[in-house]
């Protein structure tokens, strides 16, 4: 078993290892390659302008993350073509279907990039060009493989002219139109061939040689060799659905429904998740992954041990259905918490409407497993992940719950990811993200940003002011943008635009979005008037930053539109990331 995923750069340990293994395969399978050519791979991924091609690397990995094969694709967005530079399985893995799966993934990509098609070189099967029968047999097998996809050598040109006279096996230039029935005009093809020779073979092909090859393309449209191996043309079509590695990893808290406060007015209810899921299931954007269990130490990295232990114990001691609301608050004598567990609730809480009940701990614990699994998938190479969870978390502080929140899941994920690089938590819930502000207030490696209703009229009332900017080394790394009671989509987008500039200047490795949908028109807990199209625009703006992004569900309570707004947000996020 293997899976194919895209490696964007060498920033995370998983991607760094993958690139090293790709380099090992290059060394083993292409002994003629220079050391410099192999070493430049990470730079090629990072600096498209320098190489005048966007490099796209796909790896086929086994279940342990070992690379069994790879494909390196060049994309030329102006001339609209792709050039397949390498496709290879590791030596011991040839013939295991990896080459075929990689080629199909490459075709999907070339089609998604709206290109004319895929060009690549293939060694010849003509005895005049390939003298060694053993090598010729291998060449023929490759050409037969590509012919199944409708990819054939371009005919009647001098492309297969050796650069050095007498060299054996000068390659054909092969073209795959990806099933688009494209006729290649002569002039377009000449420009493409020149780009390939000048960029790929910089310093190898002398200018006179390049001119000679380019001018040898005279058929208009370009002609191809007749099918040689596959007589009955049943060309393999390109799969047109979204490939798995481009989907949004979806983690759903499968135990959320056990936390159900059935009191009137408690809007944080299980139906919220169902109404979002129902809409998401109508799209192809998501790839669902089961949550994995993580140790308590991840929670203790952001929450006070005593708070965690208290919450766990008090929940376990309650009768099913029993809800405890805090009612005594230690504003004067914090050092002496009440002995009776139920009374002590106020010692760890910021309001009087978030109850403790038997299942609150279990549901919140599972929500944390979901965000950590999602974060792990981001580290493993996925660009986008969504933890669809409840209870929400962004009001939970280091040693306090409240605002329907118990554990600050987004903060737990941020803490975990921060060991690999800088993190931004962008909170777009209607209410201030006081939890992560307080948790990271003195740190400069996690930038916390929140756009919300001004605390003069919106929960949590005591924080979210613009002058709360962080402390110590964290000074300048907390940004609050409190807005007035009436905000429409346009004003919101203008505000967000400015803040995204701040995100980019911070150069984060990861972006966490605390997604509250309570900014929507008629939300029972908000006063703003965002609509579906605004959520799409917001998603697109965030996606176009192209950071590895983990979205964590926070608030949003109008279940008539929750799903629709979530779907629009993710449509925007996905297309911002992949299609703009």
**How many Cα atoms within 13 Å fall on the side-chain side of residue 178?**
24
CA distance linking residue 362 with residue 371, whole number of Å: 15
Smallest distance from Zn ion to CB 488, Å: 18
Task: Output the CA torsion 392→398→399→401 (10° steps).
Answer: -10
Comparison of 256 and 431: residue with beta carbon closer to Zn ion? 431
Q: Count Cβ neighbours within 10 Å for each residue of 28-63 and write b for 16 or more, e otherwise.
A: eeeeeeeeeeeeebbebbeeeeebebbbbbbbbbee
* Residue number with the smallest Cβ distance to Zn ion: 555
Q: Identify the three-state secondary structure at position 348.
A: helix
CA end-to-end span of the chain, whole Å? 33
Smallest distance from Zn ion to CB 97, Å: 48
**Of 256, 394, 395, 432, which is the active-site residue?**
395
Comparison of 99 and 556: residue with beta carbon closer to Zn ion? 556
Nearest CA to 547 among 492, 516, 503, 491?
503
Query: Residues with Cβ < 8 Å from 289, sequence gap 6 or more?
Result: 249, 250, 251, 373, 374, 377
Q: Residue 73: left if φ>0, alpha if ψ -120 to 50, beta else—which one?
A: beta
Comparison of 470 and 555: residue with beta carbon closer to Zn ion? 555
Comparison of 154 and 273: residue with beta carbon closer to Zn ion? 273
Smallest distance from Zn ion to CB 517, Å: 9
Smallest distance from Zn ion to CB 106, Å: 43
Say whether residue 394 binds Zn ion (CB under 5 A).
Answer: no
Comparison of 272 and 365: residue with beta carbon closer to Zn ion? 272
Comparison of 245 and 518: residue with beta carbon closer to Zn ion? 518
Smallest distance from Zn ion to CB 392, Å: 7
Smallest distance from Zn ion to CB 449, Å: 15
Sole binder of Zn ion in the list 489, 555, 563, 576 (CB under 5 A): 555
Question: Site for Zn ion (CB under 5 A): how many residues?
Answer: 6
User: Taking the CB of residue 207, how many other CB atoms lie within 10 A of it?
Assistant: 9
Smallest distance from Zn ion to CB 443, Å: 24
* Residue ranges with strand state E in 155-204: 172-176
Eight-state DSSP code of residue 318 = S
Q: Which stretch binds Zn ion (CB under 5 A): 3-11, 31-39, 41-49, 554-562?
A: 554-562
Comparison of 392 and 576: residue with beta carbon closer to Zn ion? 392
> What is the token pair recorded at 466?
């613009």
Q: Is 67 exposed, middle or buried (0-12, 13-18, 19+ CB in 10 A)?
A: buried
Q: Which three-class secondary structure string do you get for 10-32?
A: CCCHHHHHHHHHHHHHHHHHCCC
Pick out residues in 412-451 that bind Zn ion (CB under 5 A). Answer: 429-431
Pick out residues in 255-274 that bind Zn ion (CB under 5 A). Answer: none
- Is 395 one of the catalytic residues? yes
> What is the token pair recorded at 249?
């990893």
CA distance linking residue 451 with residue 427, whole number of Å: 6
Are 466 and 480 spatial neighbours (Cβ–Cβ below 8 Å)? yes
Comparison of 548 and 555: residue with beta carbon closer to Zn ion? 555
Smallest distance from Zn ion to CB 555, Å: 3
Smallest distance from Zn ion to CB 473, Å: 29
| Contact characters 487-526, Zn ion, x per CB under 5 A | -----------------------------x-x--------
Nearest CA to 545 among 506, 518, 514?
506
Instruction: For CA atoms 281, 285, 289, 295, give the dihedral sign.
Output: negative
Comparison of 418 and 436: residue with beta carbon closer to Zn ion? 436
Q: Identify the three-state secondary structure at position 451.
A: strand
Beta-ladder partners of 59 = 5, 70
Q: Which residues are near Zn ion by CB under 5 A?
A: 429-431, 516, 518, 555
Please identify every residue annotated as catalytic: 395
């Amino acid at each position: 078993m293997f899976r194919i995923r895209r490696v964007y750069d060498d920033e995370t340990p998983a991607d760094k290892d993958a690139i090293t293994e790709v380099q090992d395969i290059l060394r083993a399978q292409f002994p003629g390659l220079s050391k410099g050519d192999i070493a430049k791979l990470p730079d090629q991924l990072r600096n498209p302008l320098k190489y005048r091609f966007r490099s796209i690397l796909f790896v086929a990995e086994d279940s342990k993350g070992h690379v069994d094969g790879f494909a390196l694709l060049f994309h030329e967005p102006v001339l609209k073509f792709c050039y397949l530079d390498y496709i290879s399985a590791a030596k011991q893995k040839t013939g295991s279907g990896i080459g075929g799966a990689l080629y199909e993934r490459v075709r999907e990509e070339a089609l998604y990039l709206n290109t004319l098609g895929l060009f690549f070189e293939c060694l010849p099967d003509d005895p005049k060009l390939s003298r060694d029968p053993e090598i010729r047999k291998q060449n023929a097998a490759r050409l037969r493989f590509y012919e199944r996809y409708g990819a054939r050598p371009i005919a009647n040109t001098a492309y297969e002219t050796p650069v050095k006279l007498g060299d054996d096996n000068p390659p054909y230039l092969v073209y795959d139109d990806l099933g688009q029935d494209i006729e290649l005009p002569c002039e377009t093809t000449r420009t493409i061939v020149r780009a390939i020779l000048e960029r790929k073979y910089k310093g190898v092909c002398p200018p006179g040689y390049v001119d000679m090859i380019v001018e040898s393309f005279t058929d208009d449209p370009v002609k191809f060799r007749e099918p040689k191996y596959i007589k009955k043309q049943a060309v393999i079509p390109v799969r047109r659905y979204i490939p798995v590695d481009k989907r949004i990893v979806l983690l759903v808290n499968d135990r959320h429904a056990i936390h159900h406060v059935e009191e009137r007015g408690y809007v944080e209810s299980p139906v919220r998740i169902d109404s979002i899921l129902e809409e998401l299931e109508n799209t192809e954007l998501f790839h669902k992954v089961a949550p994995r269990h993580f140790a308590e130490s991840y929670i203790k990295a952001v929450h006070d041990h005593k708070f965690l232990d208290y919450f766990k114990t008090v929940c376990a001691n309650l009768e099913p259905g029993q809800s405890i609301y805090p009612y005594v608050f230690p504003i004067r004598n914090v050092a002496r918490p009440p002995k009776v567990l139920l009374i002590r609730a106020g010692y760890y809480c910021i309001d009087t409407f978030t109850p403790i009940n038997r299942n609150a701990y279990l549901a919140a614990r599972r929500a944390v497993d979901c965000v950590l699994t999602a974060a792990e998938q981001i580290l493993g190479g996925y660009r986008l992940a969504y933890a669809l969870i409840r209870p929400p978390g962004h009001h939970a502080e280091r040693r306090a719950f409240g605002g329907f929140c118990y554990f600050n899941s987004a903060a737990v994920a941020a803490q975990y990811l921060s060991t690999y690089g800088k993190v931004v938590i962008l909170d777009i819930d209607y209410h201030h993200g006081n939890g992560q502000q307080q948790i990271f207030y003195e740190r400069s490696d996690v930038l916390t940003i929140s756009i919300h209703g001004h605390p003069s009229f919106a929960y949590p009332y005591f924080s979210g002011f613009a002058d709360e900017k962080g402390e110590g080394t964290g000074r300048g790394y907390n940004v609050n943008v409190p807005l007035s009671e009436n905000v429409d989509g346009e004003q919101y987008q203008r505000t967000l635009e400015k803040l995204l500039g701040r995100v980019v200047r911070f150069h984060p490795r990861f972006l966490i979005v605390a997604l509250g949908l309570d900014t929507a028109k008629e939300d029972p807990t908000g006063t703003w008037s965002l609509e579906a199209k605004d959520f799409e625009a917001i998603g697109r703006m965030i996606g176009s930053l192209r950071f590895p992004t983990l979205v964590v569900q926070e608030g949003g309570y109008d279940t008539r539109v929750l799903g629709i707004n979530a779907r629009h947000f993710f449509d925007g996020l996905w297309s911002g990331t992949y299609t703009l």
